Every structure is written in C-alpha cells, then in structure tokens.
Amino acid sequence: MSEVFAFGPAPSRVAVDAPLVRALVAEQFPQWADLPVQPVEHGGWDNHTFHLGREMSVRLPTAAEYALAVEKEHRWLPRLAPQLPVPVSTPLGRGRPGQGFPFAWSVYRWLDGQTADAERITDPVGLAVDLADFLLALQRVDPTGGPPPGTHCWFRGGSLRTFDPFTEDALQTLSGHLDTERAREVWASALAAPWDGVPRWFHGDVAEGNLLLEGGRLAAVIDFGTCGVGDPSCDLAVAWTVLDAAGRWVFRERLGVDDDTWERGRGWALWKSLATYASSLGEDDHAAPGAWRAVEALLEDDRPPTS
C-alpha cells in the first residue's frame, strides 16, 4: 500500500529485480542459494517482496526511510509473535548491504492467505471479531523498551496534531468534492479527544494489504514496519478503511474502547483517507475509490446499524 508522504517528497526508491535477490541470497545465505526466486504480485510499497522457494519470502526496503524497520522487526517480532492469536511475519535471516543494494534486508517465513480486498471479505462481522482480538492481544504485550513514535513508524502512535497541516491541505484540495465543513468537525473532535498516556503496542498499518484471509476470516497479519509503543488508536482506522458498518460496530464493542479512543481512531482514518483521495484526485489511482468510501463512512454519524 502506497504511503502518503506527509513529511516531504516521496523517498527515492531503489530498484530491485530477481537476479539481484538471487545474488544476495547466494552470497549471504548459501544454504538457500538453490531455491527459486520470484517476485510477489502486489509486493508492497515500503519493501520489494520476492518468493524464496515455497516457504520463505525476501523483503528488501525500497528506500532508506523504510530500512529503519529492519532492525526493529528482527528485534521485536520474535517477542510479539508468541503472544498473538494469528501468525505474523517471522524473520528467519537478516541480510546486509551487498551486490550494490545499500540497505539491510530480511528473509521471512512465508504466510499463506489472500489480502483483505473488499470482495474477499465474506464474513465482515467475523473479521471484525478477529481484528479486535488481534489488537487486544497486541495491546496486552508488555510495552517496556518498545520503540516510541518517530520516523521509523511515520509518527504513528503519537499526536494527531502532527497531521493537522496535511489534513487542511487535503481539505483545501478536495473543496467541492466532499462536505469539507463536516470533515473539519470530525477532525476537530478527534484532535480534542484526550489520550490517557498509557503506552501500548500498535501495529501502525492495519490495512487491507497487511491482512491475510482464509475463508473470509483473518489468517495472518504481516508487515510490522510501522509498529511501536504509544497511543494505539491509530490501529482503529481499519474500522472505516476495511470494515463495513455492521463490522465496525462489532469491532468497537469487542474492543471495548471509550469514546475518546474511538474519536482519535476516526481521526487517524480521516487524515490518511483524505490525503490519499486528494493525492489521487484526477488520476487513475486504484487507491482513490477505497479512500472515497472510507471518507463517506467517516463523515456519517457513528451509530449502530439498524437490524
């Protein structure tokens, strides 16, 4: 999923192809040198992703900004994984710069499943329960020593006020395309909602591309590059970006979050959806329809669906 670059120009991405990956693996992990290497369809934005044989994947950061996540994932995922209810990305090997590639990189165990595109969500209420249980388990993990919000996670888990100027820029761009007065009301409510200051683990990018499904239910969660310890309301954005109205209400009830946390989560979903929609306005961008649907849901009254 493409990042919206609120903090300046998009990073310059490094090109990677299968021959380079084969050379890196042969040089640094000779035990896997004979395994085939194939690019993964829709392999992501932050990382180039390749199949390594049938049971592993290779992920190489596309830019220096994303390479910050490599050490973090190798340190923390082995500690998080045993405490979570579904499989998550498990690092098997850490690569170093080489063959002209400038960053550290990773070998992971491959996780089966299909990304959570709208047409694959056949049980939205069941998925809502699965997502809530995953986040509850993640938030129960001891946060001691965990990485606080910063550049490594694009300031997720921190203050929503960081994104205030970018939200306003998006709203100015979208003037005439949506109810910007209502959007400002929702945004102001999110900014005013206080956090209790208790740091908890967050994933940071609970989005359709990082959720793997089997039979319409959550089978695995991948890409912890934006994880950290702080205000976990950023993970509630999934309620509007992936779930429908019925799933959203079940998700909230299962999590048991208070009104302030829900409002901040709404703010996280709003600023990112507005920025994505504004950046793709007038372009043939696949992200725009999803962003528009999320914005519509975010601007509606948040009431339980009628039976």
CA 180-184-186 angle, 5° bins: 115
| pLDDT, mean of residues 130-157 | 97
Which residues are paired to 93 by β-bridges?
A: 107
Write out the E strands in 77-206: 91-95, 105-109, 114-115, 200-202
Q: For residue 41, what pLDDT band results from cuts at 50, 70 and 90?
A: confident
CA distance 236 to 256: 12
Asked whether the predicted pLDDT for residue 9 surpasses 60, the reply is no
Residue 282, both tokens: 């007038």
pLDDT at residue 2, rounded to an integer:
42
Domain 114-299 CATH class label: alpha beta
CA distance 173 to 165: 12
Q: Is residue 100 classed exposed, middle or buried when 0-12, 13-18 and 19+ CB atoms within 10 A define those classes?
A: exposed
Evaluated on CA atoms 149, 67, 214, 55, the torsion sign reads negative
CA-atom Rg of the chain in angstroms: 19
pLDDT at residue 124, rounded to an integer:
95
CA distance 266 to 261: 9
pLDDT at residue 44, rounded to an integer:
75
Q: For residue 8, what pLDDT band results from cuts at 50, 70 and 90?
A: low
Asked whether the predicted pLDDT for residue 6 surpasses 80, the reply is no
Asked whether the predicted pLDDT for residue 88 surpasses 90, the reply is yes
Evaluated on CA atoms 193, 194, 196, 200, the torsion sign reads positive
pLDDT at residue 242, rounded to an integer:
96
Q: What are phi and psi of 139, to 5 degrees?
A: -70, -20
Q: How far is CA 8 from CA 48, 78, 154, 166, in A?
A: 22, 33, 12, 10
pLDDT digits (tens, 9 = 90+) for 90-120: 899 999 999 999 999 999 999 999 999 988 9
Q: What is the mean pLDDT of the chain?
A: 93
pLDDT digits (tens, 9 = 90+) for 147-191: 999 999 999 999 999 999 999 999 999 999 999 999 999 999 999
pLDDT at residue 45, rounded to an integer:
81
- pTM for the full predicted model: 0.93
CATH topology of domain 18-109: Phosphorylase Kinase; domain 1 (3.30.200)
User: What residue ranges do the domains of the chain occupy?
Assistant: 18-109, 114-299
| pLDDT, mean of residues 1-23 | 74
Asked whether the predicted pLDDT for residue 4 surpasses 70, the reply is no
pLDDT digits (tens, 9 = 90+) for 262-298: 999 999 999 999 999 998 887 655 557 889 999 999 9
pLDDT at residue 1, rounded to an integer:
38
Q: How far is CA 85 from CA 64, 138, 221, 223, in A?
A: 32, 9, 10, 16
Q: How many CA atoms lie less than 13 Å away from 304 in the CB half-sphere?
A: 7
